[in-house]
Structure 1
C-alpha cells in the first residue's frame, strides 16, 4: 500500500481536507496516516483534534508545537519545535507522500522535515497570492519544497509553473472547500438557530477577522475600526468566529469577547463552529465580513456577499460578489451598506464561483495513487 500522510494544524484546514481524507481512507490500495498539530492540540482553540477522532479517523501522531504566546518570537520558536516534532513523526510513520494544504507556519515546519527526510510533498492551494500576510512567502516556499501541486484555478497553475515546477506535476483541481457545499448535509435556518442557540434576526452578518501579519494597519486598530463599523448597523445580528493562532490573534479574540459582552442577544461568538454550522451560517446570513479566505472561495459559491477588509487576501481571484475595502470605519461601513443593498443582493444570486465545481477530492486522490514519487525534480524553465 502507498502510505499517504495528511497533516492538519487548524480547524479550517481540516474542514477543507475532510473529503480528501475520506477518499484516501476508503481506497483499499492506499493507507492514510493522520498527523495533527498546532491549534488542534490547544485548549485555547477548542482541542479540535477531538472532532477528527469523532469523524472516524485514527490520529497516528500529534506534534506539539504551539507556544502559549502569539508574538513573532513565539511563532518562530513554534516553527522550530514543529520541525523537530515532524522529524520524529515522519521517521516513525515512514509515509510515501506527505499531503500539505495552504500556507500556515505549521505547514512550513512539516514541509522542511519532509524535504530533509526525502519524502515527496503534495501541496494543495499553491500559486495563490495573499499580499497582506507572511502566508504569501510560506506558500511559495512550500511550493518549491513540493513534488506534486494541486491548485485551485488556472492562473495559479501558471504561477506555480512560472516558479520552475514542471507542468505535468501541476494539476488544476479547483478549491477543496467547495466540496463541502456539495457533500455535507447543511442546516436550514431554524436548525442552525437551534444548533448555535442564537436567533439570526431580520438581518445577520458572519464575521471572521484574522491579523494581517504584513498589513499596513496595526491589527488592534483595524479590529476596532471593524467593530465601530458594525455598530452602525444595530439592526444586524452578528456571528463572530475567532482568529487563528497568528501574531496578535489574542488581542483580537479579547476585543471580540468584550464587544459581545456588552451586546447580549445581538452577538454570538465561537472559537470553532465546525464546517457544518459555519457553512450553514454562510448560507443563511446576509453577508460575510472580514478577511478570511472563506469569504473569497466559499461565500460566492453560497451566493452570499462578502466584504473583504484590508490587504490580507490581496491578489486572490475574486468573484463579483466581493467588495474590497480599507481598514477604516468609514470604508468598512460603506462596503457593508453596499452589499446589503437589495440590488447588490440580487446580483450576488447570479454569481458563479471562480474556483471550480467542487469535485476536487477524488481527483487529488487518484493523482496521489498514480503519481511518480521520486524526490528529485529538474527546474522547469519557461
Structure 2
C-alpha cells in the first residue's frame, strides 16, 4: 500500500504556487496524493475555484466551511467547521505527511488537527514576515510543524532564532516562482480581445486584501484608491480579495465601480491571465503578496499599500505607501514618467526550481520507517 501525502488548499494563490510540486508527486507514482479543498475555493462569490482544482487533479476531498460573511464571528465559526470535518477525515485516512502552505487561519486549524493525530507536518513559507494578523498564524504554524521549506535566507535565519532544528529547515525558494516560470504570458492584443479592453495603453492591476481594521476602514481605503485610479484614463483590472476578516468592505467598494466604463472586476481570473496582466500592466497596486514575489520576476512596478506586506523581503520594483491619496498620487506620477523597465538586481526568491528540490526532500522523509514528530527547542548563542 502506498504512503499518503495530504495537501490542504483554501485559496487560489497558495494552490497555484504548489501545483508544480503536486503534479510532480503524482507523476512519480510513489505516493498517494490527496488534496483537501475548503474555504474560498468552494465559495461561489469568489469564483468557485474548486472547479479549477478538480480539473487539474483527482482524489479531491471537499470541506465546505460555510462562511457567511467577513465578520469575526462568522470567520471563527467557519474555522470550527473545518476542524470538525478535517478531524473526521484524518481519523479515517491517516496520512503519513500533511503539507501546509503559508499563513492562513485555516492552515493553522489544519496543523492543530494534525497534531492531535500525531501526523507529521511540512510547512511552506515559514519565517516570512508581514504586517497583518496572518504573521501570528505563520509563526504558530512554524512551532507546530516538523519540516520547513523556506523561500529565502532571512526566513531560514528567523526559524533558527525560533528554536527550530537546522536539520529540518530547507532553503528551496518560493513556490510561486515555480508556477510563474511554467507560464507563457499572453500578448497585449490577446488580452485586449479576451477582456474587451478599451484602451491601447497598458492597464493597471488592482488587488487589495483586508487590513486588520474594520469593514468600514477597508471600504473607505479601497474606495479612495479606486476613485484615484478612475481618473488615470486606463483600463483597471480588479480582482476580489481573499476571505479574510473585512473582505466585504472591499467588495462593496468594487461594486460601486462595476458599471464604470474602464473597470473590469472579477471574483477570480485564470492564473495565466493574472500573470499576463501583471506583466503587461503599467503598474500593480494593492497589498497582495503577488506584488512582492511574482512582480519582480515579471519586472513590473508595484505600489504596495498599507501594512499587510510590511517587512516582507522585496525587490527594487516595489514602492511603499500608506493610504494617503496625496502620497499615492506622487508615486503614480513618478512611475508614469519613468517608462524604462525596472532592472532587477537579484532573484531573491529563487530560480523556479523549488518544487524539484522539495520533492527530493519529501521523498527522503517518506522513505523513513518512522517520521518522528517530537521536537526540542534549539537554543542559539546570544
Normalising by the smaller structure, the TM-score range is: over 0.9
- 3-state secondary structure, aligned to 1:202: coil
- Alignment partner, residue 77 of structure 1: 77
Task: Report which stretch shifted further, 151-160 or 23-32.
Answer: 23-32
With over 3 angstroms needed to count, the CA separation of the structure-2 counterparts of 1:195 and 1:93, relative to structure 1, is farther
Matches within 5 A, 1:292-311: 292-311=288-307
Rounded Cα–Cα distance in structure 2 between residues aligned with 1:198 and 1:144:
47
Matches within 5 A, 1:109-188: 109-131=109-131, 133-188=132-187
Matched, 1:48 2:42: no
Rounded Cα–Cα distance in structure 1 between residues aligned with 2:211 and 2:334:
24
- Alignment partner, residue 286 of structure 1: 282
Task: Report which stretch shifted further, 116-125 or 223-232.
Answer: 223-232
Deviation at 1:375, TM superposition (A): 1.2
Rounded Cα–Cα distance in structure 1 between residues aligned with 2:32 and 2:323:
46
Gap regions ≥5 residues in structure 2? none
Rounded Cα–Cα distance in structure 2 between residues aligned with 1:270 and 1:217:
22
Superimposed CA distance per residue, residues 221-269 of structure 1 (whole angstroms, 9 cap, x where no aligned partner): 2112212321342x222100110111121121121121131x22x1111
- Alignment partner, residue 23 of structure 2: 22
Rounded Cα–Cα distance in structure 2 between residues aligned with 1:341 and 1:228:
21
Deviation at 1:196, TM superposition (A): 2.8
With over 3 angstroms needed to count, the CA separation of the structure-2 counterparts of 1:198 and 1:87, relative to structure 1, is same
Contact 2:214 2:246 in 1 (8 A): no
- Alignment partner, residue 188 of structure 2: 189
Aligned Cα root-mean-square deviation (Å): 1.7
Deviation at 1:339, TM superposition (A): 2.2
Task: Report which stretch shifted further, 349-358 or 30-39.
Answer: 349-358
Matched, 1:363 2:357: yes
Matched, 1:320 2:316: yes
With over 3 angstroms needed to count, the CA separation of the structure-2 counterparts of 1:66 and 1:340, relative to structure 1, is farther
Contact 2:206 2:239 in 1 (8 A): yes
- Alignment partner, residue 95 of structure 1: 95
Contact 1:215 1:310 in 2 (8 A): no
- Alignment partner, residue 346 of structure 2: 352
Give the paired residue count.
375
Matched, 1:33 2:34: yes
With over 3 angstroms needed to count, the CA separation of the structure-2 counterparts of 1:123 and 1:223, relative to structure 1, is same
Deviation at 1:347, TM superposition (A): 5.4
Rounded Cα–Cα distance in structure 2 between residues aligned with 1:21 and 1:198:
35
TM-score calculated relative to the size of structure 2: 0.94
With over 3 angstroms needed to count, the CA separation of the structure-2 counterparts of 1:54 and 1:200, relative to structure 1, is farther
TM-score calculated relative to the size of structure 1: 0.94
With over 3 angstroms needed to count, the CA separation of the structure-2 counterparts of 1:142 and 1:350, relative to structure 1, is closer
Rounded Cα–Cα distance in structure 2 between residues aligned with 1:19 and 1:215:
37
Superimposed CA distance per residue, residues 79-107 of structure 1 (whole angstroms, 9 cap, x where no aligned partner): 21111111112122211111010011111
- 3-state secondary structure, aligned to 2:256: helix
